[in-house]
Each structure stands twice: as structure tokens, then as C-alpha cells.
Amino acid sequence: MDEPWLNKAMLELRPFDSLTTWANSRLWAKLSAPLPDDPLVHACALTYLSDFGTGFANVDVDGLPKGGPSLDHAMWFHSPIRADGWVLIDLAPRKAGGTRGLYDGAMYDEGGTLGAVLAQEVLLRPWTEEQQRAFEEARATRA
């Protein structure tokens, strides 16, 4: 993934595989630096990682942004998993309307252990043509 704003030294992201479709967004993520063995530290790091995906990444609807700023975010932790190991983030959109979107998802370790589930509401406000043009120009200058 090539995101110019991402500090690649502290985080690694990889696509899941060809099973990712319009109905979901799956990616592998991990923190690059080793973390202490404290489960609370890993729960905090998983919370951080949970905000790197969007359930709308693969939804292709004219005028619907792929994501936006978080309005509400909830997580439920089930089993301790390490955030400095590969974590599968599996997200699915549930509703988009009235400039808001809702998606939910789950986070698993490489062995398939369910670490956490999440739900997130995001602002899905389409960009104006001027905003889109400015974004594309900024992206082109970083490439």
C-alpha cells in the first residue's frame, strides 16, 4: 500500500489476497517494532491498528467516498493477540446514507484467534471537484 502520510517505519500493511471483494476489506497489519509482553499494550496497539482500514474501501458507488473521519468507534476485546505480529483486519460495510457510513469487522492473529471485533461510524461526505483536484495534484507531486 502506498500512502504518503503513513510512517512506514512503525507500521506494515499488506493486502490480504484475492478473496477481498466489494463486500469487504481485508488487510494484514503489524507494528514494526517489538512490543512488551503486556496485554494492555497490545490492546492499545490493536485499537491504533483498527483505524487503518475502512469498510468502504472496495465499495464502488458513484459519489460515495471510500472512507472519511471517524465519528464513533467501538471495540470489544475477546482474546489477547500481539499487535507486533501479523494481524488480519477484516471489515465489511453495513450502511451508507445521509453522509454517514457504518462498518464492522474483526481482528485475528495469524493462527486465526479472534482478538477483537469493532464497529465504526464514519463521515462519508463527497469531495467537491476542487477538493478532488487538489488531492490528485498533491498525490502526483509525492509520487
pLDDT per position as a tens digit, 20-57: 554 568 889 999 989 999 999 999 999 999 887 777 66
Q: How many CB atoms are closer than 10 A to CB 41?
A: 14
125 vs 20: which has the higher pLDDT: 125
**Residue 7: per-residue pLDDT:** 52
Site of grid cell 474483526: 106
Cα-flanking dihedrals φ and ψ of residue 104, to 5°?
Answer: -135, 170
**Residue 5: per-residue pLDDT:** 40
**Residue 141: per-residue pLDDT:** 80
Side chain identity at 31, as an amino acid letter? L
Secondary structure element (H or E) that encloses residue 28, with its range:
strand 25-31
Would you please indicate which residues are annotated as catalytic (active-site) residues? Answer: 51, 70, 120
pLDDT tens sequence across 51-97: 877 776 666 666 676 677 788 999 999 999 999 999 999 998 888 88
> Going by C-beta distance under 8 Å and a sequence separation of 6 or more, which residues neighbour residue 7?
none
Is the four-CA dihedral 131, 98, 103, 55 of positive or negative sign? negative
Please name which of 77, 71, 83 lies closest in space to residue 13, comparing C-alpha atoms. Answer: 83
Q: First-to-last CA distance in the chain?
A: 13
Pairing, β 25-31 against β 70-77: unpaired
Cα-flanking dihedrals φ and ψ of residue 107, to 5°?
Answer: -125, 125
